[in-house]
Structure 1
């Protein structure tokens, strides 16, 4: 199977330059990263290969996702970020679920934003679909787009 056989993704055309989309992605993650009424709490974002990525999601009824813990594999500012949950910080192996590729590309005067989740196997992909990948990630991408465009209007 190819590397993209177990892939789910969402794409949005954001009506802002890449620099603004990048700033929203890096600086305002707590405002768009999970579908409302849930909220995200960024614990750490050490944006360098091997650096820790940890975000906790809080539900309106007191539910807590526990930290979504992983590391950055690649960071190309304003272009591409790759993270995985196969490792915790310090290259400590943990049970893997996915690798996420976030891309930012020029499209006209805007930015094509894509979030892609690559899973290790068919079972993980199916589980993510059943967890509500598309409703959740679609809402996340819509929130990201709206925040980018609001940030551009106020810039």
Structure 2
């Protein structure tokens, strides 16, 4: 794994926003596919030993992904990504929320708005992710769940996939 690749995880409590910059040793088409195809997402989206399991996904504006984070003891934590806008091979935006297995939103849990941008750097791809929360309390709740650690582990899973391909 190339340790010279960019990785930055910043939390801005004044704007209720998380910024993640992650560079992958892979061409943009491969990175785009890893973020937008369910069979690839499920290989890396969850921190080990957890697994991601997509129940349904329609990657288009107005489409959605319904998926679960599945734990080693049989736990399932369901989430829903509603795709807002997609610029192929460049960026996409979605609203993320906790839900049940049928996709019914859990209104007691925070939603977040994700903006994911892909930058071609030749032999690598930089992914810039902006995750906006409605309130500071929502941001702090997600951080208290171990979001930084879990998402970092998931991104490292994707590094491993690219290193082994």
Same fold, TM exceeding 0.5?
Answer: yes
Task: Please say which of residues 46-55 and 141-150 is displaced more in the overlay.
Answer: 141-150
Kindly tell me the number of residue pairs found equivalent between the two proteins.
Answer: 144
1:10, 1:141 within 8 Å by CA — same for their partners in 2? no
Instruction: For residue 29 of structure 1, report the CA deviation from its aligned partner.
Output: 0.4
Query: Do residues 148 (structure 1) and 159 (structure 2) align?
Result: no
TM-score by length of 1: 0.82
Kept in 2: contact 1:55–1:69 (CA 8 A): yes
1:25 and 1:70 map into 2 onto residues whose CA distance is 12
Unaligned runs of 5+ in 2: 1-13
1:9 aligns with 2:12: no
Deviations 1:80-105 (A, max 9, x none): 1211036x9xxx98735101122211
Give the corresponding residue for 1:112.
126
- Aligned partners of 2:71 and 2:105: how far apart in 1? 28
Note if contact 1:14-1:149 (Cα within 8 Å) is conserved in structure 2.
no
1:31 & 1:19 partners in 2: Cα distance? 17
Taking structure 2 as the reference length, the TM-score comes to 0.77
Moved over 3 A (4+): 92-96
For the 8 Å contact 2:18–2:132, the answer to whether it is kept is yes
Cα distance, 1:109 vs structure 2? 2.2
2:79 matched residue in structure 1: 68
Structure 1: unaligned runs, 5 residues or longer? none
Aligned counterpart, 2:94:
83
